[in-house]
Structure 1
Amino acid sequence: MTGTDRPSRIAVVTDIHAKPDSIGELAEALSVLRTEIEREVQPDLIVALGDLVHGGQSEETTLELLEAVIDTLEGGETPVRYVPGNHDVAVLDRSTLEDAFGHELWSIEERIVFLDSTGAGCTGFGGEIGSEQRDALESQADALSNPIVFVHHPLGFRRLDENRWFHDRPEQAFCTDRVAINEILKAIEPAFVVNGHLHWSDHTRDGGTDHFTVDSFNKELSEKPHGAFGVVDLEDGSRVRLVESTGFERIYRLPQ
């Protein structure tokens, strides 16, 4: 993919949270979803938006779990791009993640941006983009052409009163430098932002930018099946599908 290219159809999966006692079930469900996505969506790219593994394991076990998830995601024909989540960096260092992913943790191209929101300043489950990426975005702003931004933590503000995981700790849902990064978003005018982390499906508009949250693939602690995902379709205008594991979906069409 060159700097001026952008996949026309992108499937998104996030928050797999693999653990030793669940990796078998999760890998099977993930393989089924990948096969269905490749058959029905026919994406040019799959983006995994972080938290592929669940924290709290040893480094050796975490790496084994990560490799199992990666092997499953890459078991089809579609290339996969990974974005780190807070659970991924809780045990594994960045060089290990880059080796496992096969690419750097963040990148900025003319029409597509992948950010690493697991900066050193983040605490608990919260995130941080950090000065290096913010400076890079600012310095390249004039060269960007309404890029789509993919990131684990949400960048746009939204109320979380009804969110099971963050209603009582909203500071853990966002990036500590959210205000600074949103000022930069105003300058680069992204087409929209796609994130995970919140374990629900959501759309909000903040500061003139549309923000889409893809629901967590892992539904271990609910009565729902595994399998939520998202689809970014640019072939016929800009359309974002947020598909919950129950099959319920919402489709958003954005102006050109």
Structure 2
Amino acid sequence: MRMPTLTLGIVTDLHFGPEAHFRGKLRKLTHHAASLTEAFVDRMNREVMPDLIVNLGDDIEDESREADLVRYAECQSILRKAHAPLINVAGNHDLVNLTRSDLLASWHREGPLYYALDHGEWHLVVLHTIERKDQDIRIPRAQLDWLREDLQKTTRPTIVFMHHSASEQDVDDSRWFSGRPELALVHERADLRAILEESKKVRAVFNGHLHRNHFDVIHGIPYITIQSLIENLDDDAPGRPSAAHAIVRLTPERIIIRIQGPDPARYQIEL
């Protein structure tokens, strides 16, 4: 029996909150976050009709516990207007002032911030990468052990979602991470990739965080970075938001990824 197509609508780095400048320039057009998220959900409902909505994290631009609670709830409320189940990933900004319990309450889940589920004939894995501010990004050994066991148990083709990148992408030309790869890429990424490769089940890995589009393939597994919804495509104010989101269609033969908005990209992977 032929596996049906699985369609995903993916959005990341929505950053509800105060404006964010970096090195003296306006970089995150956070005042557009709510309207752009509404537009994303509206398009999903009217045109795309995906099987799942995937939010790769950083729903908020952290400010204070009180403000972050309100803004995280606002972002989640808008995303839940989609006519499809929502899969959430925890971003680093989400956990500056909020707790694991805060996020899980908004997600309507219990347990750790990493988890797995089946949808149709596909297995979906959400990882929780942990950023220590201005130091590094880690994935604990216990989570890697859980991942290895989870992949051993499943018989389904698998897609992995995470906030930070597990690839070896060069960040020298990055606005945000030039000279600071330790704040863009997971420290244990080689160990993580080895587990994914050994399973022979992982078809693709998606992440956000880097505020740009990127694609590379390592030992047969594609790693796809999705541009931030509110990244300023211009050099400074008043700015032009990327309005980025991805439409992903998965079949047993191929994966087609179309990143929409003024900073578009298209990738096709033959399986």
Scaled by the length of structure 2, the TM-score of the pair is 0.83
Would you say the 8 A contact 2:247–2:257 is kept in 1?
A: yes
Would you say the 8 A contact 1:7–1:45 is kept in 2?
A: no
Q: Tell me how far apart the structure 2 counterparts of residues 123 and 206 of structure 1 sit (CA, whole Å).
A: 28
Q: Tell me how far apart the structure 2 counterparts of residues 114 and 148 of structure 1 sit (CA, whole Å).
A: 9
Q: Which amino acid aligns with 1:240?
A: I
**Equivalent residue of 1:211, what SS?**
strand
**Equivalent residue of 1:243, what SS?**
strand
Partner of 2:55: 48
Would you say the 8 A contact 2:32–2:230 is kept in 1?
A: no
Would you say the 8 A contact 1:173–1:197 is kept in 2?
A: yes
User: Does residue 1:202 correspond to 2:218, yes or no?
Assistant: no
Partner of 1:137: 147
Partner of 1:74: 80
Q: Structure 1 pair 20/198, CA: closer, same or farther in 2 (3 Å)? A: closer
**Equivalent residue of 2:68, what SS?**
helix
Partner of 1:91: 97
Deviation at 1:117, TM superposition (A): 0.9
Would you say the 8 A contact 1:194–1:213 is kept in 2?
A: yes
Q: Structure 1 pair 161/150, CA: closer, same or farther in 2 (3 Å)? A: same
Q: 1:225 aligns with which of 209, 228, 241?
A: 241
Partner of 2:33: 26
Would you say the 8 A contact 2:115–2:125 is kept in 1?
A: yes
Deviation at 1:103, TM superposition (A): 2.0
Unaligned runs of 5+ in 1: none
Q: Tell me how far apart the structure 2 counterparts of residues 184 and 70 of structure 1 sit (CA, whole Å).
A: 31
User: Does residue 1:240 correspond to 2:256, yes or no?
Assistant: yes
Deviation at 1:208, TM superposition (A): 2.7
Partner of 1:254: 269
Q: Which amino acid aligns with 2:108?
A: G
Task: Map 1:44-193 to 2 at 5 A.
Answer: 44-55=51-62, 57-104=63-110, 105-109=113-117, 111-118=123-130, 122-124=132-134, 126-144=136-154, 145-189=156-200, 190-193=202-205
**Equivalent residue of 1:167, what SS?**
coil
Deviation at 1:235, TM superposition (A): 4.5
Count matched residues. Answer: 248
Greater share of strand = 2
**Equivalent residue of 2:102, what SS?**
helix
Unaligned runs of 5+ in 2: 20-28
Q: Tell me how far apart the structure 1 counterparts of residues 40 and 117 of structure 2 sit (CA, whole Å).
A: 28
Deviation at 1:226, TM superposition (A): 4.1
**Equivalent residue of 2:164, what SS?**
coil
Would you say the 8 A contact 1:49–1:150 is kept in 2?
A: yes
Q: Tell me how far apart the structure 2 counterparts of residues 158 and 177 of structure 1 sit (CA, whole Å).
A: 14
Deviation at 1:71, TM superposition (A): 0.9
Scaled by the length of structure 1, the TM-score of the pair is 0.88
Would you say the 8 A contact 1:20–1:65 is kept in 2?
A: no
Deviation at 1:34, TM superposition (A): 1.3
Would you say the 8 A contact 1:224–1:245 is kept in 2?
A: no
Deviation at 1:212, TM superposition (A): 0.5
Q: Which amino acid aligns with 1:85?
A: G
**Equivalent residue of 1:241, what SS?**
strand
